[in-house]
Amino acid sequence: MPPCPPVSRRLLLGRLASGTGIIGTFLLPGRMDAALAAAASGTAAHGRTATRPPAPLVMLDPGHGGKDPGAVGVSGTYEKHVSLAAALELKRQLEAEGRYRVALTRTRDTFIPLDDRVARAQAHGAALFVSMHADALSDHSVRGASVYTLADSASDAQTAALARRENSADRFGGAGFNTSPEIARILASLVRRETRIGSSQLARSMVGNLDDNLPMLPNPERHAGFVVLKAADIPSVLVEMGFMSNPVDEAELRRPRHRTRIAEAMKRAVDAYFVTAARVAQDDRAKWMSD
pLDDT tens column, 211-244: 988 899 999 998 888 888 888 689 999 999 999 9
Full residue range of the structural domain in which residue 263 is found: 55-290
232-to-10, 14, 23 alpha-carbon distances in Å: 12, 14, 9
Which pLDDT score is estimated for 43? 47
Strand 21-28 to strand 7-15: parallel, antiparallel, or no bridges (unpaired)? antiparallel
| Residues forming beta bridges with residue 129, ordered by sequence position | 59, 236
144 occurs within a structural domain: yes
How many CB atoms sit inside 10 A of residue 216's CB? 17
Which residue type, as a one-letter code, is found at position 77? T
93 occurs within a structural domain: yes
Q: How many Å apart are CA 129 and CA 105, to the nearest integer?
A: 10
Where b means 16+ CB within 10 Å and e means fewer, 107-123 reads eeeebbbbbbbbebbbe
Which pLDDT score is estimated for 191? 47
Q: Please say whether the beta carbons of 178 and 211 come within 8 A.
A: no
79 occurs within a structural domain: yes
Backbone angles phi, psi at 132, to 5 degrees: -115, 130
Q: How many Å apart are CA 148 and CA 133, to the nearest integer?
A: 11
219 occurs within a structural domain: yes
Number of alpha carbons in the 13 Å side-chain half-sphere of residue 197: 6
Mean pLDDT, contiguous 10-residue spans, the chain (291 residues): 56 48 56 53 49 86 96 96 98 96 97 92 93 94 93 82 78 48 50 76 94 90 86 89 96 97 97 86 63 57
CATH of the domain at 59: 3.40.630.40
Which pLDDT score is estimated for 284? 59
Which pLDDT score is estimated for 33? 56
The number of domains in the chain is: 1
Number of alpha carbons in the 13 Å side-chain half-sphere of residue 157: 1
29 occurs within a structural domain: no
16 occurs within a structural domain: no
30 occurs within a structural domain: no
Which pLDDT score is estimated for 18? 40
Which residue type, as a one-letter code, is found at position 24? G
41 occurs within a structural domain: no
